[in-house]
Every structure is written in C-alpha cells, then in structure tokens.
Amino acid sequence: MGRYEKYPVRDCALLMTSADDYFWTFRQAVSYYNLTMINYIGFHDKGTLLAGGCGDTNGKPQIQNTKYLKEAFEFGKNLYVD
C-alpha cells in the first residue's frame, strides 16, 4: 500500500459534532478519516457517528436538545459487544 512503516493494527472510530447540519458538513473529515486511518494506516473501522445540528447562530451548544448524546452512549456500549 505504499507504506514504509508498519503500524500495529488497532481499532478506531470517528465521532464528530458540528453546529450546522448541511449535507457537506462532514464530507472532508470523513474522507480524510477513511484515507488515513483506514486505508493508509490500516486500522479497523469500528464505525462513525456524525452529530450535525448541535449548535445555533450565537455559538451556544445545543447538543443536549438532540438525540446524539444517547446515540453516542449506545455507540460506545456496542463497540465491543460479544
């Protein structure tokens, strides 16, 4: 794969929040995650949780008014379920 060094295989996951919720909000970050962590380094992808719409125009967090805190908790609980 063009790598000079060998990294130990690890698991990784991507969790991100954003104030806005446009269709393109997470596109570049997810692309880099897949390119670097999964394809280049070779880590095992355990999933992605993207939480858009967690802010407002005055910069105050609004994540407590969304479903994402519960989803993140469940995501974490289920990472290594037998």
Cβ neighbours of 13 (radius 10 Å): 16
pTM (two decimals) = 0.82
Q: Where are the domains of the chain?
A: 24-49+62-82
CA distances from residue 59 to 24, 51, 53, 67, 75 in whole angstroms, order as listed: 20, 16, 12, 19, 26
pLDDT digits over 19-60, tens only? 888 889 999 999 999 999 999 888 999 999 999 989 877 778
